[in-house]
Amino acid sequence: MSPDDPPTRSETGEEQEPSDGDEVTATVVPVENIPQLAEELTPFLVANFKGPIPPPSLLREYEAILPGFTERTLRQTEKIVDHRIEMERLEVGSAVKLASRGQVFAFAIALVGILAGVGLILDDKSTAGLVAIITPLAAMLAVFVGSQLKAHFGSPRVGRADDDEDEDE
């Protein structure tokens, strides 16, 4: 920090000297210079919008500068929306296929375990056979109960304070 660095003011109005690593982000302006400073400032408007389509007033301005802009913007927005719908459709379809495939494999593994258990029981190894039968059944039960608990307690609506308000509407 050099002695020429201007002091800054804290939120309480106390002067603070900047330390070596600090940047000075504000300059102290004497009160008598404020009217002159106000004349030097140029007012400007910042506007923003949310969504893929600008508001009508802005579209009219763009259309005046670049004819056909509105049509191109709407066509592009339609393409984006169609693409998102298609991606969601593919995502849901693949999730359904994946879940179905998982159920088929789980059933096949459980069936092999149960058949192995029956084979062990027929071979006079009843303890090992019962374990071989109970293990896949217990695993399937655990997955089922877990999914039911997740569906019940994992819902984003569970535990929200405004649930009562939603029921009144």
**49 located within any domain:** no
**31 located within any domain:** no
Mean pLDDT computed over 76-102: 93
Q: How many CB atoms lie within 10 A of CB 109?
A: 13
Q: How far is CA 89 from CA 83, 95, 141, 148, in A?
A: 10, 10, 31, 25
So what's the pLDDT on residue 165? 45
What do you get for the CA distance between the two ends of the chain, in Å?
Answer: 63
**106 located within any domain:** yes
**36 located within any domain:** no
Separation between Cα atoms, residue 149 and residue 78, nearest integer Å? 40
Q: How many CB atoms lie within 10 A of CB 110?
A: 16
Q: Which residue has the tokens 């007033």?
A: 57
* Residue 32: both structure tokens together: 């008598």
Into how many domains does the chain fold? 1
Given a cut of 50, is residue 113 above it in pLDDT?
yes
pTM of the model as a whole: 0.46
Q: What confidence tens digit (pLDDT) does each residue in 126-167 have?
A: 898 899 889 988 988 898 888 888 888 875 554 445 444 444
Domain housing 131: 56-154
* Residue 145: both structure tokens together: 């109960």
Cα radius of gyration (the chain): 35
**122 located within any domain:** yes
E strand spans, 8-164: 8-9, 15-16
Mean pLDDT of the chain: 78
Given a cut of 60, is residue 43 above it in pLDDT?
yes
Separation between Cα atoms, residue 132 and residue 126, nearest integer Å? 10
* Residue 8: both structure tokens together: 């800054």
Q: Which residue has the tokens 């096949």?
A: 108
Q: What confidence tens digit (pLDDT) does each residue in 1-32 have?
A: 455 555 544 444 455 555 555 554 566 767 77
